[in-house]
Every structure is written in structure tokens, then in C-alpha cells.
A = this chain, B = another copy of it.
Amino acid sequence: MPKAKKFDELEVLKKAEEVFNKKGYNGTSMDDLVQATGLSRSSIYDTFGDKHGLFLKALGNYQDSQNSAMEGLLAKTDSYKKKIRTIFDYMINDIVTDKSRKGCMMVNANMELNYVDKEVAQMALTTMENMEQQFYTWIKEGQATGEISKKFPAKGLARNLYNNIMGLRVTGRNRPDYDTLREITKISLSLLDQ
């Protein structure tokens, strides 16, 4: 009877995520990954196939973690406006508590590899579309109930919000200052007010 794998794959992915996020895909060597994960190269190749396979798995896992973390927070309120604000608060908090200010792996990977890696480009596009769709749903409902301003169409507002989040992910690496990011967000979210 074959023995189960001993190491925690999710834990390995988290470690890989961290080093890929700091140094970039091309800037990270297999030696770096061996050191960061604590596995031997044979185990890495056996489990993930190759460097690129590990990278894509780590990136998918990163996005799943982000989504799960936000979903946990979102369950706490029915207000669409508050849900939107919760997402922005989560992003800001993620930025300022990130001591090594390595930023968002999806954004970083997308900027580094968008041109040369179709799979990464597709994941980034899908992530954007999913999040815009979520914002769209909330804004549409919020506009229907009167909670959110109807000054602009829901789709435009949704895309604008996502655009703002992408901005935070970039400017937050230059200057991960809580008050600054909060003010930027306050101004952006004022567009939802009646």
C-alpha cells in the first residue's frame, strides 16, 4: 500500500509563493525554491512537474487564499456598499501588514510575464473579470435599493473600483502608508454615495 505524501502541499505552495513574489518568476532559481520550501528538488519535480508548474500552482493557490480571506469577511454584512468597502479595507490591510512589501502575486506575475506567458495572462484576466463581475452585481443591487448612487452605470463603476484596487497594489508597494491608502480609497468610494 503506497504511503501518503508526508509534506503539506499547501504549506509548500505558500513558501514558494513568497519567494516567487519577492524575486519574480525568472529571478527565482530552483535552489531558491529548495531553500524556501525545505523540499529536495526530486520532491518538487515529482509533485509539481517543473518550475513553471509549481509557479502556476502557487499563483492559483495565492488567488484562492485571497478569495477565501475576503469571503470570510464579506459574510458579516448584507450591505453592498459595506461589502465593497470591506474589500478595499482588506486590500489596504494586506498591503500595510506585508513587512517585505512584496505586493500582490497576481499583479506582479502579470506585469512580469503577461507578454510571454499566456497562462499567467489568462489567470490575471479571469481574476479581473471575476472581481469586476462581483462588484457589478453588488453595485447593481445597491443602485436598485437606493444604497448606491445611480450617477454612473454599474459596469463603469465596477471597472473603476477594480482599477483603483490595481492602483493600490502598485502604489502600495512604493508607499505602504495606511493613512494615505485610506484617503485614496475614501475618495474613490465617494463615487458610490448619493
Point out the residue from B128, B152, B183, B184 that lies within 8 Å of A174, measured CB to CB: B128
Asked whether, in the complex, the Cβ of A111 is within 8 Å of the Cβ of B173, the reply is yes
Kindly list chain B residues whose C-beta atoms are within 8 Å of the C-beta of A190: 151-152, 191
B107 touches A111 (CB 8 A): yes
Decide if B173 touches A187 in the complex (CB within 8 Å): no
List, in ascending order, chain B residues with CB within 8 A of A128's CB: 171, 174-175
CB distance from A170 to the nearest CB of B (A): 4
Give the complex CA separation of A25 and B128 in angstroms: 25
Stretch from A42-50, A55-63, A69-77, A96-104 at the B interface: A96-104
**One of A4-12, A79-87, A112-120 contacting the partner:** A112-120
Contact assessment for A175 and B23 in the assembled complex, using a CB-CB cutoff below 8 Å = no
In the complex, A87 Cα to B54 Cα: how many Å? 40
Q: Is the CB of B173 within 8 A of A168?
A: no
Q: Tell me which residues across on chain B come within 8 A of A124, comparing CB atoms.
A: 173-174
Residues of A in contact, count (CB < 8 Å): 51
Complex: how many Å from CA A162 to CA B175? 13
Q: Are A102 and B125 in contact (CB under 8 A)?
A: no
Q: Judge if A51 is at the interface, Cβ distance under 8 Å.
A: no
Shortest C-beta distance, A190 to chain B (Å), equals 7
In this complex, which of A170, A174, A180 has the most chain B Cβ atoms within 10 angstroms of its Cβ?
Answer: A170
**Which A residues, 13 to 40, have Cβ-Cβ distances below 8 Å to chain B?**
21-27
Report which A residues bind B (CB closer than 8 A).
Answer: 21-27, 100-103, 107-108, 110-116, 121, 124-125, 128, 151-152, 156-157, 159-160, 162-171, 173-175, 180, 183-184, 186-188, 190-191
Apart from A24-B112, A163-B184: 14 A-B pairs, beta carbons within 8 A = A23-B115, A27-B113, A102-B115, A108-B111, A112-B112, A124-B173, A151-B190, A156-B186, A156-B187, A157-B187, A163-B167, A167-B167, A190-B191, A191-B191
